[in-house]
Chains A and B, each alone.
Chain A
């Protein structure tokens, strides 16, 4: 059902109140960003459902980042808390099926933290790529 093209892509669900601004700024300021990152604007990280993240993986995304606001900084008070808990459960589920749980990441950034957002995405994309390489070597 999927094309193989997206194997290297990272989907980043970004809270529009914080991380989305940071990621956009990172691009705007010319910071080094992995090209494979595709942002999806969400009203709050607490909106992102487990099945959406799984569908992104099913569609061929190599990794999914759920980018929320920092602790105690959610405009909707509980959104980041809910998101982090949901993601923790999801990682457990992925682990159960033998899928690398590190393919999904919960992260937070403030709107002004472009460098932080860029660094998180870079590290994440690099880690995914190195896992891919290891697998290739094994095969």
Chain B
């Protein structure tokens, strides 16, 4: 899933400066699951904005809404009736959700309430770790199902660097060395010989280096 983290309320307050009517919009998918932008976080964020305003002179009203997926037009349109009544939207969604709302509601400023972090998994309840960089050309078949691109601090594709110490990364000793994990896993699977294969350099044009990407499935285009 996409993992995000809330922005500091002070940042949000700065963005909505001058707006009298604010709509806080949550997303019911990834960011609900990573506890950053679901209905409850929307309620908390909205309450905090209202509370902060109590000491101020200006008049602020804050409305709340949470839709199934902010990155879909159809769901974004559920806000059609609410948006004309507000001066600003705070979107508690990933960057895709924020942009969907911005495109959908051309005349209303849409501000991000979250910092989108990465594609990852909950390591345990309340702790998420990065697992995929969306590089566009998956190499997990060759690396025992452990991604060196996302999980090696240096994105090294040909084995550990000299900083791998006792299975840990030199950049952050709390992080496992991805290449140690890859080695251990391939050894367990009896596939260590795979590491001896000579691989051509990775084609990074499938990643964001090739410009904004697009995926098409011709048969599904109506």
Contact = CB atoms under 8 A, between A and B. Distances in A.
Do A and B interact directly, with beta carbons closer than 8 Å?
yes
Interface of A: 49-51, 54-55, 57-58, 93-94, 96-99
A98 B55 CA distance: 10
Interface stretch (B5-13, B171-179, B190-198): B5-13
B44 A98 contact: no
Residue among A54, A57, A96, A97 with max Cβ neighbours from chain B (10 Å): A97
Nearest to A55: B47
Interface residues of B, number: 15
Contacts of A96: 8-10, 48
A76 B147 CA distance: 40
Given A93-B9, A96-B8, A96-B10, A51 B44 contact: yes
Contacts, number: 39
B207 to A, nearest CB: 36
A51 B43 contact: yes
A97 B13 contact: yes
B51 A99 contact: yes
Contacts of A50: 40, 44
21 contacts: A49-B40, A50-B44, A51-B40, A54-B44, A54-B47, A54-B48, A57-B47, A57-B51, A58-B54, A93-B9, A94-B51, A96-B8, A96-B10, A97-B9, A97-B10, A97-B13, A97-B49, A97-B51, A98-B52, A98-B55, A99-B51
B10 A51 contact: no
A99 B55 CA distance: 9
A94 B13 CA distance: 13
Contacts of B9: 93, 96-97
A98 B51 CA distance: 10
